[in-house]
């Protein structure tokens, strides 16, 4: 019915001139393959596109008011570069777990997202690499939580050993990341 693209679905409920006023979209598990005109949603604050078949997300870079972006469970391999992410100055929460991201080059652009506070990348090939957390937290300075765990000082400063309760990924540092509007 929506032909695998966001625009077809949005036009079922909104006319073209109303797209610029949409604040939130939840288009999960709809077999979406293309984001085509989602950039027309200029006021978009929360965008949930989980569990689709998306491979490219460049169109979202036009949604500069985003605060939360959920792209978990898609087929994303490569993220846009830092200059694209730098336009998303309000983005705080980014869910990318369960995607096909496998190398540092695939995500290095995230360093341009200067206010990103929480990120999920677990269950990706990249998350299995040695020093995954250390490298990531030292390339995105604004991060406070990665993969639902508060970032420990031990992860930032290599070879620093802390008492067990402050160790990286200790259950006491586990957080449920939600956005309260």
| Per-10-residue mean pLDDT, the chain, length 181 | 74 80 94 92 96 97 98 98 97 98 95 96 95 88 91 63 55 58 48
Residue 110 in any domain: the answer is: yes
Q: pLDDT at position 28, please? A: 95
**What are the helix (H) ranges across the chain?**
6-13, 82-85, 104-107, 132-137, 153-156
Inter-CA distances, 3 with 33, 43, 114, Å: 9, 25, 35
Domain holding 101, by residue range, is 6-173
Report the pLDDT value the prediction gives residue 130, as an integer from 0 to 100.
86
Res 8: pLDDT: 80
Cβ proximity of 152 and 166 under 8 Å = yes
Q: How many residues does the chain have?
A: 181
> How many structural domains is the chain composed of?
1
pLDDT of residue 68: 98
pTM of the model: 0.85
Any domain includes 1: no
Please give the pLDDT value at position 154.
Answer: 62
180 belongs to a structural domain: no
Task: Give residue 138's pLDDT.
Answer: 87
Residue 138 domain-assigned?
A: yes
Cα radius of gyration rounded to whole Å, the chain = 17
CATH label of the domain that carries residue 66: 3.80.10.10
Q: Residue 106: its pLDDT value, please? A: 95
Q: So what's the pLDDT on residue 157?
A: 55
Assess contact for 76 and 50: CB atoms under 8 A: no
**Is residue 92 one of the residues assigned to a domain?**
yes
């Amino acid at each position: 019915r929506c032909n695998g693209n966001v625009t077809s679905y949005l036009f079922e409920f909104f006319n073209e001139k109303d797209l610029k006023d949409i604040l939130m979209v939840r288009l999960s598990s709809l077999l979406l393959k293309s984001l085509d005109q989602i950039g027309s949603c200029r006021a978009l604050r929360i965008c949930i596109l989980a569990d689709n078949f998306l491979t490219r997300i460049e169109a979202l870079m036009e949604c500069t008011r985003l605060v939360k972006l959920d792209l978990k469970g898609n087929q994303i391999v490569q993220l846009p570069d830092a200059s694209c992410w730098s336009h998303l100055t309000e983005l705080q929460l980014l869910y990318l777990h369960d995607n096909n991201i496998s190398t540092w080059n695939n995500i290095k652009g995230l360093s341009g997202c200067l206010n990103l506070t929480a990120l999920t990348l677990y269950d990706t090939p990249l998350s299995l690499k040695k020093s995954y957390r250390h490298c990531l937290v030292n390339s995105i300075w604004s991060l406070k939580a990665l993969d639902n765990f508060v970032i420990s000082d031990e992860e930032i400063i290599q070879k620093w050993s802390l008492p067990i309760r402050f160790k990286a990924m200790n259950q006491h540092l586990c957080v449920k990341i939600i956005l309260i509007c």
